Each structure stands twice: as C-alpha cells, then as structure tokens.
Amino acid sequence: ETITIKDLAEKMHVKAADLIKRLMMLGMLVTINQEIDAETAAILAQEFGYEVEVKPEFDIESLLAEEPETDPAALKPRPPIVTVMGHVDHGKTSLLDAIRKTNVTATEAGGITQHIGAYQVEKNNRKITFIDTPGHEAFTAMRARGAKVTDVAVLVVAADDGVMPQTVEAINHARAANVPIVVALNKIDKPNANPDRVKKELADQGLVPEDWGGDTIVVPVSALKKQGIEDLLEMILLVADILELKANPDRPARGTIIESRLDKGRGPVATVLVQNGTLNVGDTLVAGQQFARVRAMIDDRGRRVSEAGPSTPVEVLGFSEVPEAGEAFVVVEERLARQIAQKRLAKKREEEARARAKIALEDVYRRIQEGQIKELPLIVKADVQGSVEALSKALERLGTDEVRVNLIHTGVGAITETDIMLASASGAIIIGFNVRPDVNARKAQEREKVDIRLYQVIYDAINDVKAALSGLLEPEY
Ligand code: GDP
C-alpha cells in the first residue's frame, strides 16, 4: 500500500511542502507526486500528532483460513474418503466397480449410476466415500496442489503377481502423505494365487500383515467374484474409527474440486468433495480463480440434491469457468467471492511471470542454516537395482546431526511424471543415475520446477549432496 505526498497532505490537512520538509529532516528526499509506503506515511502522520491505524492488507489466505471449531460438540463423525492405488492390471478399476455394485440398495438396483469422480456406499449404516479415479498419480497431482483429500488408501495387490514397481510407488506416495494403508489382496480366486508370497513381499516393504504380528490390515478379495468386499469395507471403517474423522455440518462448506470439465449443454461442471460444512444450492463459492453460484447439484446416482454434507461428492453447476482439479473451494458471500477470484487471478499472473522456485540443491545449506529444513527429501532413480541400492545407502549415510537425508522414493527406470509430482508435493530433489526424464516428466518439470540432478558417476552424486549439506556446492549453470 502506498500513498502520494499530495494525497497524504490533503488527508492530514497540512501543506505538502511541510511534509516534504519533515521528510527531508528524516533523511528522505521526495517530490509531491512521489508515492511513499504505509510505514513512512505512518511515521510522518505521527510526527504531525496523528494517531495512526494501519489497515491490514486484504489477505485472502488468512481471510479464508479455516476457523478452528470452538464448540467440540458441533463436530460430528464424517465418512472416510478412500483412494484405491496399486500396480497396473492388479484390479483397481474392477475393485471400484465391485464395491459400487455390491452396495447399491435393492430399490436403487438398476438405477442409473453416474460417474462423477467419486461415489459413496453404505456399510453397517455408515457411509464410505471412494474417489473413482484409481492410482497414485491423481492422488499425488492433487497433493502437489495442496489438496489433502484422502483419509485411507486401499492398496490393491494381485495375489498371483505380488508387489510390483507401481505397488512400491503407491506405498511411498501414501506414506509421503501420511495416509494409512489397507491392503486388498486381490484375485484370490486365481489358481496360481500365492497370498503368503505376497505377504512376505509386503513385509519387505515395511507393511507387516497383522497375522504376521504387524499392524497392516490385509484383506483377501476377488473383485471378479465379488468376494471379500464386505470385509474390506468393514476394515476401512475400522481404520476410519481410529482416525476419528469429524466435521461440522452446520457451517459454510469448504472442500476440494476433484474433477472438472466443460459440458456442451451445461457449461462448466465440477465435482466437489465437501470436507467440512454443508454445501447448499444458492451458495456462492470461490475455487482458485473461479467463482460459482451453485445453481444445481447432482449426486453419484444422478439425483438432484439441494444440500451436500461432509465427505459427500456432488457435481456442481454454476461455475463461471472450469475450475482446476485439486483446487480448494470455500463458500463465502457473493461479493467477496468475486473479489477473491479477481485478486487471485491477478496474483497468479504475477506469479507466472516469476517462475516458481522450488527447493534447489544450492539452497539446501542456506535453508539448513535458517532452520527451514531438518531433513532433505530425495527421490533416487537409476538404471539398475544395484545402483539404486548403492546410491541410496551412500546418500542416506550423508545425513548429519542438523539434517537427515530422507529417501521418499527410489526406483529403477526413467524419471517419470509421477516422480516429478511427488517431488513437487514433498519439496524433494530428484537424483537420476544413468537415467533421464521421459517426455511427460520433462513437461511436468517445466511446470513444477523441481530440481533434477543427473549423474553418470555415483561418486559425483554423493559429492554434490555432501557439498550441498555443508554449503560448498557451486551453482549449476
Ligand atoms: P487396474 O489396471 O488395476 O485398474 O486393473 P483392472 O481392474 O483393469 O483389472 C485388470 C484385469 O484383471 C482385468 O482383466 C480384470 O478382469 C482382471 N481382474 C481384476 N480383478 C480380478 C479378480 O479378482 N480375479 C481375477 N481372476 N481377475 C481379476
């Protein structure tokens, strides 16, 4: 906030020349049309005997920050929100279908189910919300935008195939987000299913099954034969109970956009997941730079509804433009919603001009010194498993008392888009040994600006990280 000398003088009913003189005495040379900042103006006003009250800047984020609940009694249990992850072809889509079908009540059987990006089922008179887009890619892309939607991750592992690279990825992504994992051991109907082998592989990944003395719930299921589905739902509710998920249905809604598109007939359509409060037809909301007056809401069975409470997914009509998936939404009064949308658009443009700076290896030491980081998250990709292991071990050993090296994901193969999204969401640096980013990863890297370091010599990688940790790294040009 700034003001010209001329305007300030008018407001204070003094001559501009007097202000200029006073500023000269304070060591500032200014002209009458020059803008001075709020702080200088305040000092000046005080010099002339005015009481100064600096109005806080219009700060959207603090304005929209969720007020903590003052009355604990207002908090009611809410359904858990579940994402299904796992290796390709292990049965994620089949499982989501099976869950949806087993739980459609008799009266609704044959009714139209509609894909809106999430759906709810009932078990023991309690609801469970499933995100309908399987995979950790979508999950992490949302997280990279700051959205925390998932309460429980269901990890699908095929009993005839076992733990595969994307299984490990999914585990790491869920762990990085601090989301508890329930394992669905799928395809147990297959003659070559080998649950014990899979359990051993899970244990190797730190997911020790309960019947082996660990605390990972493993539920044998067959998505194809619809076996074990009820048990799985039961276990999800059990985990949800431990999490004590609660929300207050009696406040204006807030939540996350989980899908969006431009519909030819209906205009911009977005599926939102209400995370707190209740969303009503007629509410106005802001999501990122987009504004909406809720014209209609449609649930996962294709029915029009007038309200949606905590953990409920609904399609919302009435957006001015298509909002981005992963964006948070908040219900506010219309004038404010419009104002915020505008401010954000301006800010976004500004930010686009300056490239987004994620953590770079050169910054590591400064950030350690400033106490901003206590651990250095790394993702390690290499051409062969042996190198992954050698490099990972060596890097982990570089941790010091001030900063721990945290390998959030390691793997064999090219650097992929999901690696970039995970790095972006976790503030990690990617170390590649004898591998490069693939095409999609390169595009994502341009967007997300994460630091990728490529090496052909393990020693060089170790040296760079060591140098970064001790503040000796030369910037890379
Ligand atoms: P996704 O890639 O993880 O989503 O896997 P899909 O759900 O597309 O399933 C991949 C293949 O496995 C399909 O041919 C399914 O029919 C099959 N499949 C899924 N679940 C089961 C199961 O429980 N038993 C058997 N035998 N096949 C299954």
**Which ipTM did the prediction report?**
0.99
Query: Which residue shows structure tokens 């001790």?
Result: 470
186 known ligand binder: yes
Q: How far apart are CA 224 and CA 159, in angstroms?
A: 13
Atom of ligand 1 nearest to the CA of 227: 23
Q: Encoding tokens for residue 79?
A: 């359904």
Tell me the HSE value of 7 on the side-chain side, using a 13 A CA sphere.
10
CA nearest ligand 1 atom 14, residue: 89
Contact yes or no for 389/411 (Cβ under 8 A): no
Atom of ligand 1 nearest to the CA of 186: 23
Q: How far apart are CA 474 and CA 327, in angstroms?
A: 37
Please report the pLDDT score of residue 43 as a whole number.
Answer: 80
Contact yes or no for 411/430 (Cβ under 8 A): no
409 known ligand binder: no
For residue 422, how far is its CA from the centre of ligand 1 (angstroms)?
Answer: 26
59 known ligand binder: no
Contact yes or no for 279/330 (Cβ under 8 A): no
For residue 282, the tally of other CB atoms under 10 A from its CB is 9
Please report the pLDDT score of residue 55 as a whole number.
Answer: 57
pLDDT one-digit tens code per residue, 230-289: 999 999 999 999 999 999 999 999 999 999 999 888 889 999 999 999 999 999 999 988
88 known ligand binder: yes
Angle between helices 16-25 and 38-47 (to 10 degrees): 100
136 known ligand binder: yes
Q: How far apart are CA 405 and CA 397, in angstroms?
A: 8
CA nearest ligand 1 atom 22, residue: 187
* Residue 138 CB partners (closer than 8 Å, separation 6+): 83, 131
For residue 91, how far is its CA from the centre of ligand 1 (angstroms)?
Answer: 4
Contact yes or no for 102/226 (Cβ under 8 A): yes
135 known ligand binder: yes
89 known ligand binder: yes
Indicate if the alpha-carbon torsion angle 457, 463, 469, 471 is positive or negative: negative
CA nearest ligand 1 atom 18, residue: 91
For residue 88, how far is its CA from the centre of ligand 1 (angstroms)?
Answer: 9
CA nearest ligand 1 atom 17, residue: 91
For residue 422, the tally of other CB atoms under 10 A from its CB is 29
Instruction: Say if strands 290-298 and 284-287 run parallel, antiparallel, or are unpaired.
Output: antiparallel
Q: How far apart are CA 262 and CA 268, in angstroms?
A: 4
CA nearest ligand 1 atom 24, residue: 187
For residue 90, how far is its CA from the centre of ligand 1 (angstroms)?
Answer: 6
For residue 219, how far is its CA from the centre of ligand 1 (angstroms)?
Answer: 16
For residue 223, how far is its CA from the centre of ligand 1 (angstroms)?
Answer: 7
pTM of the model: 0.70
173 known ligand binder: no
3-state secondary structure the chain: CEEEHHHHHHHHCCCHHHHHHHHHHCCCCCCCCCEEEHHHHHHHHHHCCCCCCCCCCCCHHHHHCCCCCCCHHHCEECCCEEEEEECCCCCHHHHHHHHHHHCCCHHHCCCCCCCCCEEEEEECCEEEEEECCCCHHHHHHHHHCCCCCCCEEEEEEECCCCCCHHHHHHHHHHHHCCCCEEEEEECCCCCCCCHHHHHHHHHHCCCCEHHHCCCEEEEECECCCCECHHHHHHHHHHHHHHHCCEECCCCECEEEEEEEEEECCCEEEEEEEEEECEEECCCEEEECCEEEEEEEEECCCCCEECEECCCCEEEEEEECCCCCCCCEEEECCHHHHHHHHHHHHHHHHHHHHCCCCCCCHHHHHHHHHCCCCCEEEEEEEECCHHHHHHHHHHHHCCCCCCCEEEEEEEEECCECHHHHHHHHHHCCEEEEECCCECHHHHHHHHHHCCCEEEECCHHHHHHHHHHHHHCCCCCCC
Please report the pLDDT score of residue 354 as a whole number.
Answer: 46
For residue 89, how far is its CA from the centre of ligand 1 (angstroms)?
Answer: 6
Give, for ligand 1, the residue of 89, 92, 167, 225 to mutate: max count of ligand atoms closer than 8 Å to Cβ.
89
* Residue 320 CB partners (closer than 8 Å, separation 6+): 268, 290, 291, 292, 341
For residue 137, how far is its CA from the centre of ligand 1 (angstroms)?
Answer: 19
415 known ligand binder: no
CA nearest ligand 1 atom 6, residue: 91
CA nearest ligand 1 atom 19, residue: 91
pLDDT tens digit at each of 477 positions of the chain:
678 888 888 888 888 888 888 888 777 778 888 888 877 888 888 888 877 665 555 566 666 777 777 788 899 999 999 999 999 999 999 999 999 987 665 455 555 567 889 999 999 999 999 998 877 777 887 777 777 899 999 999 999 999 999 999 999 999 988 999 999 999 999 999 999 999 999 999 999 999 999 999 999 999 999 999 999 999 999 999 999 999 999 999 999 999 999 988 888 999 999 999 999 999 999 998 889 999 999 999 889 999 999 999 999 999 988 998 888 899 988 888 888 888 888 777 766 554 444 567 777 777 777 777 788 889 999 999 889 999 999 999 998 877 889 998 999 999 999 899 888 887 889 999 999 999 889 988 888 888 999 999 989 999 999 888 887 665 554
The pair phi, psi for residue 157, each rounded to 5°, is: -130, 125
For residue 158, how far is its CA from the centre of ligand 1 (angstroms)?
Answer: 8
Atom of ligand 1 nearest to the CA of 223: 23
Contact yes or no for 128/233 (Cβ under 8 A): yes
Q: How far apart are CA 392 and CA 381, in angstroms?
A: 9
37 known ligand binder: no
For residue 183, how far is its CA from the centre of ligand 1 (angstroms)?
Answer: 16
Atom of ligand 1 nearest to the CA of 88: 2
Give, for ligand 1, the residue of 83, 94, 225 to mutate: max count of ligand atoms closer than 8 Å to Cβ.
94
Residues within a 6 A CB radius of ligand 1: 86, 88-94, 134, 186-187, 189-190, 222-224
Q: How far apart are CA 175 and CA 140, in angstroms?
A: 11
For residue 98, how far is its CA from the centre of ligand 1 (angstroms)?
Answer: 11
87 known ligand binder: yes
